Structure 1
């Protein structure tokens, strides 16, 4: 298998023809199945049927759910897909993440990577999806992100369960000497009703696992589902509420050493001079290790305990070089504004003739607005950490990560071993939100393990190091213009959005030899791909040359474009004297799934009914990651400030696998977005991040959170994602509610710069 970097050079090119050429080169990889990684690690009496299912002779059933469990419930839902077709209760199943392996590629993470909106289904759009999905397999791209895990696993894992069941039934038929068609399965038992005889799955597992898998399987129709479509008991919950050692920070190995890092507070800057003598002499310190990677430069500390490592890191005296980017927030904002003013950029949507539509527009029919958002940190509750051991030519990494195969590849290179001598043990994640798709914490642990003489080193970052060395949600700025028709509806919209490129920044850190070819659609996703029909509609993405590291933050570009797009739509409605919900109905009339979501959330909230004095509501809609989501936020004016009282959410996810988990993710995503909207920002001074902990980068607390009412719809014919889709509409719905309450149109986040919140 070629390395990711090698294949990516020929596949991550812009344009269907170029990508198709890459797929043609890798066609062999696309057609052949990857080896089953479970075959080499089976215990006595245990059989595997495919990369997702193991069954032992004691009837222990293990399902490999190869996506990172970070609280979103994916280990439960993926296991339920297998259990449904295997015909067992979910309680009978043990769930593991499994090893890093190309067999667990996630094609859906890349399938929507083309320039087409989710609702576009023409030949070009479908071809691009097929090609990009194939690229995911060619790369063996195992990852958790893009709200893609269920969409990717929906067929794969049901087929795995169905194939295993057929193989078990065939083995039971041989054992009992009866035709397979006369056998029935239920809860891990295969029975022959005519004679009353039966065998368990475990009794025939080894024989069944030795047989060839079926070439085709028939999956249960939705009407036949026993588990899917219903709330299930979370598979991860017992371990969490009992404090089981399941997270990266819980790893405990014999002869453990402990470590931390002290990286340059100015990204990409190297030390000018350093004095390590005080740190090296401190009790418990084993070694100070210089670090110089694609993620930056600094020092790692190896010690006999974590406290010694933390104190030694504080004692390192170092003068750092200057920042290569604008040194403070004001200068960064100027760079964004200069990018907007300079013209150019990549047009991601260009309907009609926008310039002509604006050419003769009377001034009173023009709506203009500038919007801006700050950098944001991920601020996972569990700080970045990883444990690594390099012993006898084998590298083991215990890492709460979202990208096991890339982690394996990059860490193997640092350790000087091959990938087949590198084992990535993916633990539970104490929050991810895209941050643990990065490699820095695993790479740093690997570098320290190289200096530990075969002993494992658990490297845990301080909270301050975590906040100040994130890969941030980028700051962004937008310039928006609309022309209204005689009926108050927009006849032309022009959106220009400037932001640092997430794709270019990510490649610099992970595969710096790869050019970031073509436009970065994440700059405008959530604006250029929304289901609004306006005769003249243009959206332009402008990459801003600010090299502060930026990365994938929950809902990526949708997180700020939801605010930009839906706040501006609210401005258009206000200027046109149209109810904001009614305007959405008219502009999205060509997309029934969108209208049904708008209708549902309006019905739930009794939109249009008079509210008591001092209360107001705001509406927003965003299509992201394949799900159509409308949110209405109700606020109240109180002596303590504006209180967010209630949020209504309607979401069409196409097919709902577990309504309980979906509701939890929608509310979680909304709280995440509201937290950012109310008070979060990352600012810079002298090239350094000013925030350091939860005291100055906090999330909403329980007493601040609203009540929620959620409706889950299944109207659209394609499945959507869930983990991120509640976030984009939250900020604009709140901002629009604040406008309805106060008359103040706030175009810059966080909102607490201009209004107070209770």
Structure 2
């Protein structure tokens, strides 16, 4: 993998600290906890140090935090500065945030790249952002003590002010003096009992500018001389241009150029609508390539046939086949989930301006390092000559984290061919039909129960495309197993206690481009595992909650959220006629979530009335943000559970927009309650963990209501 060399520390200090005239704290903790202070006077002497995040305190008391990760609605624009502000004892009203440039300085902790994904941002930054705040606070106290003529121990900090007796100094007043001091080698972090910000519900810092339109997304980028392009791409994955006639397209008013790029034919125009009309007027002959006969219905049947044989072992113990043969009761079931599109509200877009010695890219991206390296390769520049301007993301869900940097490389190719700055825009139809989907999967499960209804044998075969297999991350595949295909099954707490179990995987290679989608493998394994457990409870003649209690007795955090969600939902209490409840519990990304769904069926439509959610995410840095992400994940998961489906016929995706690739509408939104388990455990993820349980909770409620088990998504209304 090509990596960028990034900006030098000296260059950063010249462009930020010198201009701000204040204190700059740089912190670098790749698996350790080292800190260093970058003061303007020390810039020349410190060029060998490579910090990857910065805190700036200006003379006007403004505290600016550079965010190495992308804000795409998950709330890290607030939670990460909150960590820093806690240790700094900052005036929260003076906090400002900026997206950092793409550079190795901003690589994720322990990772050789700058990216956002895996619900990692807050928990990986939990310590180093706090240490940066604590370091800045120590320097400000030293500066104040010298000014006041007192000992540092006699000073305290409060709301952006250092206080000693009747003497007071604002951080902005002290910043310049603090910047000249040598930072301490170690700093003490606050005890949790002394936190004033962490753990308190906090309003998001990015909400005001998103509400009044000041926030800039990739689609908002505009400057003098910028043109807009749309690209005609092959209707079948892997297809190529055989020939084309652009004469009609060039006659469309506003069209400036028509250029061929590796992905298709780009129409470059003064504005989007001219480009769109120009593309409509193109005459293109396509070579459809080898995938023109792909059919998702046929693939499903092929997957089921494949599942009749064991694949590569992902988790195994004992002899599952022999134990199944001896079991008192045997339950067998096939589950299936379809391909899914990410369908973010803001379609893909990327603006590129190329000069002889520099290239600028404006886009909402989750993969800054990959995009920078890809741009450098196409333009022939060095990575440090490529500036990635990370904009706010109007939804990502993994689609803006493509290892191939597909939408960015295409935009660079278009701008290069056009010889002008160009914003390449994908329509909604382009986005849904343009590739990179959550793979379709089939699960074949056989479970043996003893006379008491306890599982004593478990055989589980999974068939679906590997996300990592055709990516630069294929080295992460171990013994043929893509962990993203089996997570949530191979490591399930239910299987850990079964002496005889066998989980295996088949990863067929197809021409359909696939990618991680919000909660990755847990999107399907959470649905399957919690549905199967419900089936076992039925076979054992036990209440679904009581059955899970018995199986999870040694898994306290699973049990904790399960009990809390069930209690708050009134599990076991009467419901209005025509309604039923279902529950599910699942661990992912270091957090534990249980959900209880209350459903009915009306006029052949599934109605989800209520979802009660309990989460144990360890320390909840911003409880308001945790609640928002649980609500968001539930909506995302319900959209997939009730509507999400891509059909492929003759190599072509049949769905095109929100009318046939539906998402949950306002009038379909259930009432959601979120309850957070108080915890002192290290933080887990929250951006994705609300998704996995909800499909199973709804499916289990439908079974309780109708007596019919649904093993395929999206769910259907039954009576």
TM-score using structure 1 length: 0.87
CA contact (8 A) 1:593 1:715 kept: no
Alignment of 1:358-757 (within 5 A): 358-361=324-327, 365-438=329-402, 439-453=405-419, 455-507=420-472, 518-532=480-494, 533-639=497-603, 641-715=605-679, 717-752=681-716, 755=718
Structure 1 residue matching 2:200: 3-state secondary structure: coil
CA contact (8 A) 1:521 1:541 kept: no
CA contact (8 A) 2:367 2:401 kept: yes
Which residue in the other structure is 2:250 paired with? 280
Greater Cα shift, 46-55 or 370-379 = 46-55
CA contact (8 A) 2:468 2:474 kept: no
CA contact (8 A) 2:334 2:444 kept: yes
CA contact (8 A) 1:504 1:516 kept: no
> What is the aligned counterpart of 2:73 among 66, 71, 74?
71
Measured in 2, the distance between the counterparts of 1:513 and 1:182 equals 55
TM superposition shift of 1:336: 1.9
Which residue in the other structure is 1:303 paired with? 269
CA contact (8 A) 1:627 1:653 kept: yes
Structure 1 residue matching 2:513: 3-state secondary structure: coil
TM superposition shift of 1:217: 1.1
TM superposition shift of 1:470: 3.2
TM superposition shift of 1:534: 2.5
Measured in 2, the distance between the counterparts of 1:72 and 1:251 equals 22
Which residue in the other structure is 2:60 paired with? 58
CA contact (8 A) 1:653 1:716 kept: no
TM superposition shift of 1:197: 2.9
CA contact (8 A) 2:327 2:456 kept: no
Measured in 2, the distance between the counterparts of 1:35 and 1:585 equals 54
TM superposition shift of 1:541: 2.0
1:520-574 alpha-carbon deviations (Å, 9 max, x no partner) = 0111112122222223222212212223111110000100111111111111111
CA contact (8 A) 1:667 1:708 kept: yes
Alignment of 1:6-21 (within 5 A): none
- 1:163 and 2:130 aligned: no
Which residue in the other structure is 2:297 paired with? 330
TM superposition shift of 1:650: 0.8
Change (3 A) 1:37 1:688: farther
Structure 1 residue matching 2:381: 3-state secondary structure: coil
Greater Cα shift, 704-713 or 202-211 = 202-211
Structure 1 residue matching 2:468: 3-state secondary structure: helix
TM superposition shift of 1:85: 0.9
Structure 2 residue matching 1:544: 3-state secondary structure: coil
Measured in 1, the distance between the counterparts of 2:4 and 2:129 equals 28
Change (3 A) 1:215 1:231: same
Change (3 A) 1:437 1:418: same
TM superposition shift of 1:208: 2.2
Which residue in the other structure is 1:340 paired with? 307
1:9-38 alpha-carbon deviations (Å, 9 max, x no partner) = xxxxxxxxxxxxxxxxxxxx9xxx995874
CA contact (8 A) 1:54 1:63 kept: yes
Measured in 1, the distance between the counterparts of 2:411 and 2:476 equals 25
Greater Cα shift, 675-684 or 60-69 = 60-69
Measured in 2, the distance between the counterparts of 1:567 and 1:4 equals 43
Which residue in the other structure is 1:220 paired with? 190
Which residue in the other structure is 1:11 paired with? none
- 1:83 and 2:85 aligned: yes
TM superposition shift of 1:337: 2.3
Instruction: Tell me the matched-pair count.
Output: 686
> What is the aligned counterpart of 1:179 among 139, 151, 165?
151
Structure 1 residue matching 2:493: 3-state secondary structure: coil
Change (3 A) 1:70 1:181: same
Which residue in the other structure is 2:164 paired with? 192
1:690-717 alpha-carbon deviations (Å, 9 max, x no partner) = 1111110111111111101111113473
Greater Cα shift, 610-619 or 416-425 = 610-619
Which residue in the other structure is 1:41 paired with? 15
- CA-atom RMSD, angstroms? 2.3
Measured in 1, the distance between the counterparts of 2:559 and 2:654 equals 43
Structure 1 residue matching 2:658: 3-state secondary structure: coil
- Structure 2: tracts of 5 or more residues without a match: 27-52
CA contact (8 A) 2:458 2:501 kept: yes
TM-score using structure 2 length: 0.91
